[in-house]
């Protein structure tokens, strides 16, 4: 099966509007154009977007269910009742768990936490864990990033006399759990922002408990420090869970990144150092996405998520270093396992060329890693993808989707073949009997065929502007940092440079020679370009004709010398690419 090429789309450019916004804000014209591309064309909105003040956060009491939950939690803290925070095992879950654990601890709570083992217990609340916690004396159970679809588990908690507060952001069923539910999209909700992650919901609840304990908006210094630490953890969870970086998510991530850089906890400091970011001038959202979150997720994927909470909450620098070293080892193991599964899954996918969706399965695939691989294949082949790890008595699956295909809804149509499923439009998990894998494939592919009768849509690469190489000065490229943080809903700007000439033959670089490096020129300006993971396309650059490049400009620093380079997203042979 061939990797699907993207069609290029250059966003429209209205010079008069760009000039007006640039004059009103004092921003370079290119930044003004990017803001307009993001739907921000007025002065006040543009300034607010760039400055991103903390006062833009919505009051936590507006979050559905949060006020009642904060009251119950504070009552439990005062009464010294045994509280357990039950969090999911991914980065969003462990950061949210760490937030509530630290804030309730500094408030004097009798609090512990529980993170299920991904490989043995699976996602979300499970009845055996609920029974175990109740038997162990837990009186108040607070979920993080899970539970909103746990109808049977909530009923069991109630039967056992265990008070349950569910905090979540995932899709829910027609019936809600019999618990006190905290969720930004509860039926009848008027909360102004629906895009919080599990950590975001946990942060808003922790903030509200803290103000309830203080009897007003002003909390004492120790609690304030834990809440500021919580902003950094929230940023980790939000970016890792690929939530849209606008509204209060943008605020939390921008200020969380600053806290992470300038006042990290011992755990975050050790994690940052392990990821090679200790000497970086700043920490960006993409550093979370590609360096920090994968390390935290690796431990959860391999069954050790509880140690991640220990890492994020320990006050000991030595303990933090030991845990970060362990997490680094888990990440290296995850990378090796991932590469193996990617190769095997690509080979298996060739059997289903032409199908509008992929359902691939093997007894040799690690259940904790298949979600990452499903995402890679969905992007590679531009179609919804399910990967399944087949066990002796049960198969565990993870799926990733493409634009226009709601994965959780598609799995609901396959409910008869599944034991359980949950998730959202872009990602989901499920369990099924091993004997039903073929039946699931048939049904899921049929759902995709109805959705895409002409085949999956060709993915689009959106470009913010066409630029010349000469315009990409060091000062201009550095000014793009003023629109940070970039991420979901506000991607890092990508540009088009057309009619470039290859200066030197391209060469393969990096471990395994998986990447490409080449130099281009335009009107006397030369620039180096690096195309990560595109070594297999080297033959496309064999001629001496012009090429067009879609790219992200980056500042490269080496031996104290700084210059602008092109990080290639895609390229086309020819003076002018075909655009849609």
Rounded CA separation 154/178 (Å)? 6
**Which ranges of 419-557 would DSSP assign to H, the alpha helix?**
437-451, 474-479
Rounded CA separation 516/507 (Å)? 6
Burial level of 85, CB count in 10 A (0-12/13-18/19+)? buried
Determine the average pLDDT of the residues in 541-570.
90
Which pLDDT does position 466 carry in this prediction? 96
Q: Which residue, among 204, 88, 82, 194, has the nearest Cα to 150 in the 3D structure?
A: 88
| Cβ neighbour number for residue 446 with a 10 Å cutoff | 14
Mean pLDDT (the chain) is: 93
The fraction of the chain above a pLDDT of 70, given in percent, is 100
Which pLDDT does position 2 carry in this prediction? 66
Q: What pLDDT digit, counting tens, does each position of 370-383 carry?
A: 998 999 999 989 99
Which pLDDT does position 121 carry in this prediction? 76
Q: What pLDDT digit, counting tens, does each position of 154-173 carry?
A: 999 999 999 999 999 988 88
Which pLDDT does position 559 carry in this prediction? 77
Q: Do 232 and 261 contact (CB within 8 A), yes or no?
A: no
Q: Do 531 and 568 contact (CB within 8 A), yes or no?
A: yes
| pTM exceeding 0.85 | yes
Which pLDDT does position 300 carry in this prediction? 78
Q: What pLDDT digit, counting tens, does each position of 332-353 carry?
A: 998 899 999 999 999 999 999 8
The fraction of the chain above a pLDDT of 90, given in percent, is 80
| Cβ neighbour number for residue 24 with a 10 Å cutoff | 14
Helix (H) or strand (E) run with residue 538 in it: none
Q: Do 230 and 203 contact (CB within 8 A), yes or no?
A: yes
Determine the average pLDDT of the residues in 52-74.
96
Confidence of residue 138 (pLDDT cuts 50, 70, 90): very high
First CA to last CA distance, the chain: 25
Distance (Å) of CA 323 to CA 259, 269, 318, 546: 21, 12, 9, 51
More confident site: 230 or 456: 230
Q: What pLDDT digit, counting tens, does each position of 408-442 carry?
A: 999 999 999 999 888 778 888 899 999 999 999 99
Which pLDDT does position 554 carry in this prediction? 94
Determine the average pLDDT of the residues in 349-358.
92
Burial 167-188 (b: 16+ CB within 10 A, else e): bbbbbbeeebbebbbbbbbeee
The neighbouring-strand residues paired with 142 are 85, 165
pLDDT of 485 higher than 90:
yes
pLDDT of 542 higher than 90:
no
pLDDT of 1 higher than 70:
no
Phi-psi category of 303—alpha, beta or left, where left has phi over 0 and alpha has psi -120 to 50? left
């Amino acid at each position: 099966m061939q990797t699907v090429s993207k069609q290029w789309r250059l966003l429209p450019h209205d010079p008069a509007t760009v000039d007006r916004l640039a004059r009103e804000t004092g921003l370079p014209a290119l930044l003004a154009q990017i803001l307009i591309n993001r739907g921000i064309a007025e002065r006040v909105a543009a300034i607010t977007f760039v400055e991103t003040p903390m006062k833009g956060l919505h009051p936590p009491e507006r979050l559905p269910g949060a006020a009642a939950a904060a009251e119950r939690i504070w009552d439990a803290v005062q009464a010294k009742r045994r509280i357990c925070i039950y969090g999911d095992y991914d980065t969003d879950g462990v950061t949210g768990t760490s937030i509530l654990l630290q804030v309730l601890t500094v408030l004097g709570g009798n609090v512990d936490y529980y993170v299920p083992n991904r490989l043995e217990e699976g996602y979300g609340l499970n009845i055996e864990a609920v029974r175990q916690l109740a038997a162990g004396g837990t009186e108040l159970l607070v979920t993080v990033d899970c539970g909103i679809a746990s109808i049977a588990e909530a009923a069991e908690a109630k039967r056992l006399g265990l008070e349950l507060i569910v905090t979540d952001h995932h899709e829910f069923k027609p019936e809600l759990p019999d618990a006190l539910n905290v969720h930004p999209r509860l039926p009848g909700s008027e909360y102004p922002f629906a895009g919080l992650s599990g950590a975001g919901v946990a942060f808003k609840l922790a903030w509200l408990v803290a103000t309830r304990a203080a009897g007003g908006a002003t909390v004492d210094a120790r609690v304030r420090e834990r809440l500021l630490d919580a902003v950094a953890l929230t940023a980790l969870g939000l970016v890792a869970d690929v939530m849209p970086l606008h509204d209060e998510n943008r605020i939390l991530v921008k200020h969380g990144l600053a806290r992470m850089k300038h006042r990290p906890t011992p755990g975050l400091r050790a994690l940052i150092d392990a990821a090679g970011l200790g000497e970086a001038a700043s920490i960006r959202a993409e550093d979370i996405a590609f360096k920090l979150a994968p390390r935290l997720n690796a431990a959860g994927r391999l069954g050790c998520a509880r140690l991640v909470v220990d890492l994020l909450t320990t006050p000991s620098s030595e303990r933090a270093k030991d845990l970060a070293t362990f997490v680094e080892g888990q990440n290296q193991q995850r990378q090796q396992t991932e590469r193996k599964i990617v190769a095997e899954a690509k080979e298996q996918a060739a059997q289903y060329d032409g199908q509008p969706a992929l359902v691939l399965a093997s007894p040799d695939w690690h259940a904790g890693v298949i979600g990452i691989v499903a995402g890679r294949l969905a992007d590679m082949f531009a179609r919804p993808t399910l990967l399944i790890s087949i066990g002796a008595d049960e198969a565990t699956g993870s799926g990733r989707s493409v634009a226009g295909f709601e994965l959780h809804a598609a799995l609901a149509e396959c409910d008869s073949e599944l034991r359980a499923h949950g998730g959202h439009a872009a990602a989901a998990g499920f369990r099924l009997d091993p004997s039903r894998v073929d039946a699931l494939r048939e049904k899921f592919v049929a759902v995709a065929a109805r959705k895409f009768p002409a085949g999956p849509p060709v993915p689009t690469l959106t470009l913010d502007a066409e630029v010349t190489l000469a315009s990409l000065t060091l000062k201009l490229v550095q000014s793009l940092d003023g629109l940070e943080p970039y991420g979901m809903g506000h991607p890092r700007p990508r540009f088009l440079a057309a009619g470039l000439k290859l200066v030197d033959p391209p060469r393969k670089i990096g471990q395994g020679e998986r990447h490409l490096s080449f130099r281009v020129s335009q009107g006397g300006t030369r620039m180096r370009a690096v195309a990560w993971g595109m070594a297999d396309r080297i033959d496309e650059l064999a001629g001496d004709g012009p090429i067009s490049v879609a790219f992200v400009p980056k500042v490269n620093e080496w031996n104290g010398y700084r210059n602008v380079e092109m990080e290639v997203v895609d390229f086309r042979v020819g003076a002018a690419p075909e655009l849609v």
